[in-house]
């Protein structure tokens, strides 16, 4: 099996799920349709990580551990922050790229 056929197990960590709920709840105040689209796109992008999650670039910044997290942008302003470990993908956060998020990743 080559790398393109390898399937990863994607785990959405509790903080990432809670962030999705928070963003969708806020967005629903303006548009239920937009909130539903955000949730649908979140799950579609998460599922896409089952195949070749390494295609996504490294997340970098002054307080972010080097080559620990990868990122996947969706819906123009949101980002999934995840780690790959063996055959597992752990989605640790969903953040709005328009706001400061590096504090989430400090260890």
pTM: 0.86
> Domain for residue 52, yes or no?
yes
Give the number of domains in the chain. Answer: 1
Say what the pLDDT of residue 31 is. 96
CATH code of the domain covering residue 33: 3.30.2310.20
Q: Which two structure tokens, joined as six digits, stand for 30?
A: 């303006």
> Domain for residue 4, yes or no?
no
> Domain for residue 1, yes or no?
no
Domain range spanning residue 86? 9-105
> Domain for residue 2, yes or no?
no
State which residues of the chain have pLDDT below 50: 107
> Domain for residue 3, yes or no?
no
> Domain for residue 82, yes or no?
yes
Say what the pLDDT of residue 44 is. 98
Q: What does the alpha-carbon distance between residue 79 and residue 11 come to, in Å, rounded to a whole number? A: 16
Say what the pLDDT of residue 94 is. 94
């Amino acid at each position: 099996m080559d790398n393109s056929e390898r399937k990863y197990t994607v785990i959405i960590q509790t903080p990432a799920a809670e962030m999705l709920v928070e963003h969708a709840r806020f967005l629903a105040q303006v548009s239920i349709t937009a909130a539903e689209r955000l949730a649908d796109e979140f799950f579609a992008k998460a599922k896409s990580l089952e195949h070749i999650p390494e295609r996504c670039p490294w997340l970098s910044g002054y307080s972010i551990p080097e080559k620990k997290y990868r990122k996947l942008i969706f819906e123009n302003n949101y980002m999934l922050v995840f780690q790959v470990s063996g055959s597992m993908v752990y989605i640790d956060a969903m953040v709005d790229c328009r706001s400061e998020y590096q504090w989430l990743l400090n260890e």
